[in-house]
Structures are given as C-alpha cells and as structure tokens.
Chain A
Amino acid sequence: MATKVTMEALSPTMEEGRLVKWTKNEGDPVAAGDVLAEVETDKAVMELVARGDGVLRKRLANEGDSSPVGTLLAVIGTADENIDSIVGGAGASAPAAAQTGQAAQAAGGAQATGPANQTVADTKEAAGQSAVPASPAQSQGEASTPPQQKAGGTGASPPAPRSAPPPPPRRPAAPPPQQQKGNGAHPTAQSAGGRQRTSPLARRLASEKGIQLGAIQGSGPGGRIVKRDIENARAAATTGMARSGAAERLAAEGDFKDVPLTQIRKTIARRLAESNGPVPTFFLTAEFDVSRAAEMRTQLAEMGDQYKASFNDIVIKAVALALAEHPEVNAHWLNDKIRQFNRIHVAMAVAVEDGLITPVLFDADRLSLWEISAKARDLAKRARDRKLMPDEYTGSTFSVSNLGMFGIDQFTAIINPPEAAILAVGGVEEKPVVVDGEVVVRKRMRLTMSCDHRVIDGATGAKFLQTLRRLVENPLMLVY
C-alpha cells in the first residue's frame, strides 16, 4: 500500500513551503520517520519525514520549488507496486477518492493504460481537461514524470469524465467493496488534493472539540477518520501527550535531546506512579530574599514607565536563566522517554474570568527583562479579553504561577503535563529575619516548586532552586 508524501503544515500558520533539498533519492529504501527532505517554512527550515515504509518510488517536486500545503511531493511504495493512480491523481479533487472501488479501479486502469505513444502536447487534449495546470504541483508533475505517465495525469477535472470506459458491471450487491485494502498501514488522512477523508460525524465532533483533523490518523477504510479516532485523540490529549499544534512546533524544531529511560528511572516512575496518581509529584519550598530585587524595581520605576517590571517578570527572567543551567528541569515526560528541551518557553498562569490560562513567553531566556515585562502584560490582557490564539498558550517547557497579588503567601501549583515541574510564587512580605546574627526587616518571597518525580529527583529540584535563588536574590546576575 503506497504512502503519499505531501507538503505538510509544519507550523500552524504555514500555507506554503519551499522544498530546499531532497535527502533521499528515487529508489532509496525509506522507513517511517526517515527524513526525506528539508522544507523551508514561514518560520524555519524543517525536516519532512516519511510516514510510511517502502521505497521512495517517485519524487514529484524539484529542489527550490514552492508548493502549497497539501501538494503531493512524492510517493513511497513497495518496489513493484503500481502507483499510477496516485501519481496520476495529483491535484485531482476529493470526489475521486470517494468513488466505489470498481469505478476508481476503472479510472486508474484508464490512466495506467493510456496510449504510450501520446506526446506531451497531446496529453492536454484529453476530454474535459484544461491546458492550464490547476496548481503548481501539476506543472512540476509534468516536468518530472515521463511521458507515458502523463496520459490522464494532468487533468484538473475529477476522474469521472476521464474514465471513458464505463466501470465493469457490478457484481450482485454485497457489502460495498473496500476501495483500498490495507496491508496494515492506512494512508494518512491527508490525500493528494489536501483532503482528508472524514465521516461527517467525526468532522463535526472535531470541530466542536477543537481538534485538528490534520494530526489524526484515520482508522476507517481508506484512512477515513471516524468517531473513535476523535474520541481517542481526546483521550490522548489528556493523558500526557502534547496537544497537536504544540507537539508539531516542539517536535519539528528538532531542538531537543531525548534521554532514554534508564532502569532506575523506569523503576522510580513505576513505583511512584502507583503511590501518587498519574503524576508522582513532590514539592520543594524555599523563601527568597527579594530586598535587592525590590530596590531594582524601584530604580527601574524611577527611570520611566517603559522600564517598569513586576516581581513576577523578574522571577520569570530568573527562571528562564536558571532553566538554561538545569536542562533536566526544562523537560517533558513522554511516557517512554524524557525530552529535555534546548529552548526555554516559560508559561505564566493568568487568571481569567472563568478559569486559568497559561500564555507562553517563548525563548524567555533570550528576552530582556523589559521584553518579558511588555510581553507578559500584553499576553495577560489578551488572555483576559479571550483574544489569545492557541499557539500562544501552548508549547511551554516550564510553568510559573503567581498568586501573590491575591495575598497568598505560599501555595502548591499543579503540574501541567507533560511538563516536569511548575513554580508557585507567593506574595512579597516584609518580615524580620536574622542576618549576620542580627534581626532585620527584609522583603521575603516564598516559592514552591512542584516536581514530577519521574523526571526530577529532590536534589535536582533543589539545585535548580539554588540557582534560582542566586539569580533572584542578586538581580544583577540577570544581566551578567
């Protein structure tokens, strides 16, 4: 069973991609997950991976070509299977896919047996076909496909007018024929025309639940997404797998290191999960002296409104820098591995009218304090106005929650799976402490870190908090 390689939406906003470089040639064996090509998106150069096993039978795009999302770029199949119907259908609209088995076979047959002596010029005269390719993929298709495969392969119209021989007489009615018999791997829901096959019910449920169909593998015939696929997707989303958009961004960027679980890790994970529910959590509390941070705040405020920073902004900046020194805390638990991220995206919890939302400060370690301050203010406002886009509140590697403004001294926050930890920040209060043997009044702040014990041990968490303390208590270090 052949696998189609299409231009995928590698970011939520991507509409078109440029194929920079093929990393596999026609005839090369490929396995699912192998990198086939490098594609430049609106954000970065990403890797296009194979989603099926076999041989790379056909490349349909050239290096340097741009194609819209959904364009068929290549076909993977077994060495000897006939892929004419897939290659010929490049750009064909979805109704082709929906025909009965015999009709589709007849159409495929008509194309496959097109006269071999048709010249390139002749192919466009076939009935009902426009001479102008409907999409860039077709012109690429013509350039790269040998002449005998062009018969019927260039049409902008759906196969129905093209299948000139009528479908063979149907056998007596039985349950309708399977259009594509799976050999185990169903093709992805994305097909040549960029159209997923989805039952009307599944489409409606996905829309209601905000689930992206593009990320779902359909289990129905021909890769059709059906109700149970939507139900399973929801279940998966709540059991520790990243939501689809965030998963794409974090995974596709390639900016991480996967640490396989050692035996000791697996044991700890298993035993702790048994004792404490799905996420075995422990809590570390520390009280920081924020007197110097307070002075810094005052000085910044004196310089002008645009330099104002809140304690939370300072904490977030410090957290980001601390995470850079402790990548084992900047991690996700992914069931069979721990993913430590090289980039640092800190989510900040914002209370909104009917709940909580966590907009993300991306690459917080590279943001200056005033950038963090400005972004945090903007995100918080838009969060309260319900104007955040999904990719603004997904994709964090670590979270910070602050209830100090509500008069909370200290609290424990709940980890957002699959993150490994969350930091709960309490309010700033003046209290007497002992310094150098004397009782003095200092500004103090209590922080509690909740840690997923499958990822972070007590010492690891404590060391992170040590680093954090150093940064928060000595805010000059934030610029060091």
Chain B
Amino acid sequence: MSTEAKRPPTQKRAEKGAAGNNGSDAPPANDAAQTTVEQRRELLHSMMLQRRFEERCAEAYALGKIGGFCHLYIGQEAISTGVMSMIRPDDYVITAYRDHGQALARGVTPRSVMAELFGRADGCSGGKGGSMHIFDAKTNFLGGHGIVGGHVPIAAGVGFAIKYRRGNQLCVCFFGEAAVNIGAFHEALNLASLWDLPVIFIIENNRYGMGTAISRSTANEDVIVRAKGYRMDGESVDGQDVFAVRDCMSRAIERARKEKRPTLIEMRTYRFMGHSMSDAVSGTYRTKDELEENMKRDPILLLHNRMFEAGELTEGEMHKMDDEAKAIAQDAWDFADASPEPALDQLYTDVYADTSS
C-alpha cells in the first residue's frame, strides 16, 4: 500500500549471557534509572502476584478444579510485567494460550481469571473459554488463543484497524519460539511490514516447544534474523531482566506510534514448569540440572536482589509483598470457588450476536 522508501531494518542484540546462552553475567540494562522506587516495587509486586497465582493454579489443577489444558507462566514473569508496564490502556494485547501471567500483568482481575479457570459464571469469559481463552474487553486483552500462530495474523488485523482509524495505538502480540515456523507467522509478519502496521511481535523464546528443543525444530535457531527477511526491525533481549524488556519495548513503542512500523523482538526466557500441567517438567526433554541452573535466573529473584542491593527493599517488606500476593491469590481462589457454574441456558448464548445495525 505505502510507496514510501523502505527503511532498512536495525537489529540490536543485548549482550550474550542472557538467559539460556553461555551463562556469563551481563551488566543490567539501564532502565532502572528511568523508574521510580515505587514503580520498581509495582513491577516486583506484579511478578510476585503472577507467581503465587500460577502456583495456586497448579494446586487447583491437581485438585480437579481446573480442567483441560493449563499452561503456566512461571519463570517468564519479567516479560509480561515489563511489556505491560510500558504500554497504554488503549493499546491492544493478544497472546497465545500461556496467558494467565499476561492477563494479570495487563490488569485483568485475579478473581475473574481464576473464576474463568474454574469454569464459573463470574469468569472473564463467562466460564465458556477456560485457561486458553482469557478475554477482557475492559483492558483490551484480546485473548487467549489455542491454535499455534493463529492469532498472529489477528494481531496484524488489529494493527490494520488502528491505521485505518489513524490512531496511534499499537498492538502487542506474544507467541512462543516454536510458532515462528508456522505459516501464519510468516504471512502476518509479511503483511505487517508490507502495510506498515503498528504491531510489536514478541517471541517468548523459552527454548522448548512442548518437548521439542528449538535445535530440533528450527533450521536457523537464531530466530531473530527472520526480521530481516521481512524488512522489519528486530531485537533480541534477556527476557528474565524486566528492565531489558522495558528498554527494548521503549524503542518498539516509539517505532509503532511514530513511524507506524512493526518490530519483532526475541525475549529469551525459560519456563520452570512443563509445557502444560499435563506435561513433564523435566527428565525427558531437558535435564533437572538444566532446570535448576536456569531457575537461578528467576526474574523475581533477579529484581528483588537488585532492589535489596540498592537498599530499596527489606526482607520484611518483601515478605509482606509476598504475603499480599498470596492473599490476593487466595482471595481469587475463594471467589472462584464460590462462583456458580454457568446456568445451563448459557450453553446457547453468544453463539450469534444480535445484529443491531
């Protein structure tokens, strides 16, 4: 559509040593200076809430209160928290099925998320979606999608609509590294770049697609180079460092709002649980040692250690924060447990919208 000269893409990579690479410590990103103490506490609190919430989910699943598929975000909290802390309420968020952490970080209430997981009427999707389909129009949280890569063209469509309306919002789109191999990813990125759509595509590279390491699925493991193939800007960052996440987001956001250009970002991370509650945590496709090694780069640990070292947080305050997080998670549980199952007539509602025009 656009006939402007195409700007060559830039590619920035944070230094090697981020999660999953050869392990040497990198100096932390500079964003720490651009946040206030209060903001940093909020970041920590958000991550802790997600962590405690997801732990209660694991418990609930084992008790049979959550059924079907349940994909936990434990270990990846810096990504959700960092991204959501940078975008506006009128921006849009869309993600795949590992969506609890992102929903909470975006501001979907823990009660409505847990009630949805328990399949109750007070769930954000009325109990009709479940874990993989958390939707919340109030916070422009566009779900929660079950088909790998299927939502990536949808993100491009959201960008299209923003542009159609001449707005300066943007759309953030999360997916795993295994999704870069599916056709929908390819088609969506081509369109986003061809049409100059304000979309930030985020690869949450946790190195494993269910039980398949990236080395076994992806001819070129250096997934970020694909951005070049679409004449798109690309960056690769340490996804366990919430400030690194914020830092790269600041560039992507500016690019989206001002230049109406998409960005592809690889955020290197690690999940501490199995692909889903039905899958092995370790022992088959990854060793326990590897897991334990990576758990040392727990994003929550990384942040609160920095805050301890900076004297911004005491043990006592941390425990208090933790207790609050646990309390909120418990409250969500209690709320969900008390919420009724959807009425049977809800089986038939919302298949079709009543046409208004």
Is A in direct contact with B (CB under 8 Å) within the complex?
Answer: no
The residues of B with any CB-CB pair to A shorter than 8 Å are none
The residues of A with any CB-CB pair to B shorter than 8 Å are none
